[in-house]
Amino acid sequence: MLAARAGFAVTWTDIEPHLTSRTRAVVLCTPSNPTGATVRRAEGEQIVQQLAARDIVLIRDETYASFVYDGEPWSAASAADWRRTVVVVNTFSKAFGMMGWRVGYLLADATVCEQATKVQDAIIICAPVVSQMAVEGAVRNDWTYAESFHDDFRERRRIMASGLARIPQLEWTPTPGGLFAFARVQNCDDSTGLAHALLEDASVVTIPGAAFGRSGEGYLRLSYGYASLPDLEHGLNALRRFFAAR
């Protein structure tokens, strides 16, 4: 996971050494899940340009694009000549609180969309009509709905950072976007076992870093996107008591 420096995600210099003659596409998730790291506009445009020069497609996952609290949000679809080598995937689930409705969209050149439509038609045909109608209503009513919660999320992030700073075994650098704290756990080599213990002994739900791949081992993902401020404080106090007793 290459997303730790000051909360910002990978740069072109991180990506370039991993490219080979067989590379056909690069997937870039920003803001990242689980880290919340983001890609700056200048870095993102450089990544698009450098990949395009090598005829490599950039698949940009912008699921959490509505949740960037520091800096300017940026979409790969705003890059010059983006249709030639960029595919943007997104969902309405997070921005409009429609988790489980499974309605999203893809932005790409017409030739890519034509092939994607064939795949979709062979698997699910289309999203449920009622889901599509709900999304249409949400988009027409308030496209920037998620931004109305930014101040609240900034406060939750502040409380999360303050609470985790009081737990010596945990380390987290607040990130510019997303809804998560991806905290490093001191001397942890079994994040799955730790997450289970936290659930059983402290009634705190976390996601083990190992669920995100080998590089995530030793971390826990904690979400501040749903809990009320009192519940967030309560959960952090429970975390502190749990680690103090270990």
CATH at residue 217: 3.90.1150.10
Asked if pLDDT for residue 162 goes beyond 80, the answer is yes
Q: Please tell me the number of Cα atoms within 13 Å of 144 on its side-chain side.
A: 5
Same domain, 98 and 59: yes
pTM of the model: 0.87
pLDDT of residue 8: 55
Q: Phi and psi (nearest 5°) for 91?
A: -140, 155
pLDDT of residue 246: 85
If one counts the domains in the chain, the total is 2
pLDDT tens digits along 199-231: 999 999 999 999 999 999 999 999 999 889 999
pLDDT tens digits along 99-108: 888 899 999 9
Asked if pLDDT for residue 6 goes beyond 70, the answer is no
Q: Please tell me the distance from the alpha carbon of residue 65 to that of residue 27, in angstroms, as a whole number.
A: 15
Q: Looking at 89, 110, 143, which one is the last position of a domain?
A: 143
Same domain, 75 and 113: yes
Q: Please tell me the distance from the alpha carbon of residue 56 to that of residue 127, in angstroms, as a whole number.
A: 30
Q: Looking at 88, 117, 143, which one is the last position of a domain?
A: 143
- What's the full length of the chain, in residues? 246
Q: Looking at 143, 164, 195, which one is the last position of a domain?
A: 143
Q: Please tell me the distance from the alpha carbon of residue 98 to that of residue 64, in angstroms, as a whole number.
A: 13
pLDDT of residue 214: 92
Name the token pair of 220: 């826990």
Instruction: Give me the chain's average pLDDT, please.
Output: 92
Same domain, 163 and 220: yes
pLDDT of residue 180: 94
Question: Domain containing 214: what range?
Answer: 147-244
CATH at residue 45: 3.40.640.10
Asked if pLDDT for residue 5 goes beyond 70, the answer is no
Same domain, 238 and 155: yes
